[in-house]
Structure 1
Amino acid sequence: MIEVFKTNVQEVGQSVMIVEKLLEHFPNSSINFDLEDCDKILRIHSSHICNNSIIELVNSYGFHCEVLP
């Protein structure tokens, strides 16, 4: 399954750090950012995705994160 989130991550360094942290919690996932998109998209492909856990983790680093409908 693939889940797409809107974030306010602006810089590549920030996105790399968040991807690394997310992979610690979801090691068998494919995770990437599209910082060129106006919604600063975070895309996660995994067999099991817990939206609340992902949002809470991104928020814990000071960034906004919400599921795109």
Structure 2
Amino acid sequence: MITIFKANISEDQESRVRQFLNLFKEILKVDFDFEDCDNILRIETVGNITSNIEIVLNSNGYFCKELL
């Protein structure tokens, strides 16, 4: 499953965000698109953990919302 998020994560924050995302064993791949106006975060997972990702990132000071 691939989920795409709108985020406010910058290149400087990427390594810190990856540390949070490493907590999820269901995540297979993480990609950032900093050139997109929405700072796209693409996450490939086994199963639907979208709400968990949003909760963890939003509660740590980042904006992260699934694009539908």
Letter in 2 for 1:41: I
Q: How many residues align?
A: 68
The alignment partner of 1:39 has SS state of: coil
For structure 2, list consecutive stretches of 5 or more residues without a partner in the other structure.
none
Residues 3 and 28 of structure 1: CA distance in aligned 2, closer, same or farther (over 3 Å): closer
What TM-score does the superposition give when structure 2 sets the normalisation length? Answer: 0.85
Letter in 2 for 1:31: V
Structure ranking higher in strand proportion: 2
Alpha-carbon distance in structure 2 between the residues aligned to 1:7 and 1:28: 17
Letter in 2 for 1:34: D
For structure 1, list consecutive stretches of 5 or more residues without a partner in the other structure.
none
Indicate if the aligned counterparts of 1:19 and 1:32 stay in contact, CA closer than 8 A.
no
Which residue of 2 is the match for residue 2 of structure 1? 2
What TM-score does the superposition give when structure 1 sets the normalisation length? Answer: 0.84
Q: Could you tell me how far 1:23 is from its partner in structure 2?
A: 1.5
Identity %: 34
Q: C-alpha root-mean-square deviation of aligned residues, in Å?
A: 1.5
Indicate if the aligned counterparts of 2:26 and 2:45 stay in contact, CA closer than 8 A.
no
